[in-house]
Amino acid sequence: MPVPPNIPRPTAKRLSYYLRELEAQADLGTKTISSKGLGERLGLTDAQVRKDLACFGQFGHPGVGYGIDELTGQLRRILGMDRQWTAVVVGAGNIGRAIASYGRLADKGFEIIAVLDDDPDVIGLRFGGHEVRPATDLESVVREHDVRIGLVAVPAGAAQRVADNMIAAGVRGVLNFAPVRLAVPDGIAIVSVDLTISLEQLAFKLTLGMPSGEFGT
């Protein structure tokens, strides 16, 4: 079962949540979980869970449920979490520092190769074991370590330029924390996280009294 076929977008979003929940269950020592059980913990129907997982093969056991270790392994493989990912952070402001200091990333297979900034006052400081290097090192860092992922943690005004530089240097995917939409060429993956927008969504739910659906928000 080498490459999965065409996956519905909403399914793709839920996969990571399945994995997170399965790992939590594994820590609790549970060995098996049903689509109903998994769905309940995630606010999904049992049918939804089964349909999602069935996209990739049949790893359930009728009458029993899903083996947690087995399914975890499958999901890790599907999501690409069975390999190591290399990443570079540009921007050593508040967000960049928080990322650099966030230990859990390494456990999950994301290795931060370097943290860069162009502010001379910041270069040389250390965060989470990374000494901040000059932004001009970007290209050599990416090339030498074959870095695949770039994290944009600079202010909005610099974000597009930084992303362009990353991509020019060879990065294949960008995680953007700046509050702008970045234009990227075809074939480059992008995901954005915007604190202000998350807060706005929350405020909007509050003003409306919306039902608390979760995913992707």
Looking at residues 180 to 209 of the shown chain, list those that interact with its own copies (rule: CB under 8 A): 180-181, 184, 186-209
Identify the residue among 15, 40, 65, 137 touching DNA (CB under 7 A).
65
**Near its own copies in 22-81, by CB under 8 A:** 24, 41-43, 78-81
Size of the site for DNA (CB under 7 A): 26
Q: What HEC string does the chain produce? A: CCCCCCCCHHHHHHHHHHHHHHHHHHHCCCCEECHHHHHHHHCCCHHHHHHHHHCCCCCEECCCEEEHHHHHHHHHHHHCCCCCEEEEEECCCHHHHHHHCCCHHHHCCEEEEEEEECCCCCCCCEECCEECEEHHHHHHHHHHHCCCEEEECCCHHHHHHHHHHHHHHCCCEEEECCCCCCCCCCCCEEEECCHHHHHHHHHHHHHHCCCCCCCCC
Interaction between residue 21 and its own copies (CB under 8 A): yes
Minimum distance, C-beta of residue 100 to its own copies, in the bound complex (Å): 9
**Near DNA in 9-28, by CB under 7 A:** 9-11
**Near its own copies in 93-112, by CB under 8 A:** 94-95, 97-99, 101-102, 104-105, 108, 110
Identify the residue among 1, 9, 62, 120 touching its own copies (CB under 8 A).
9
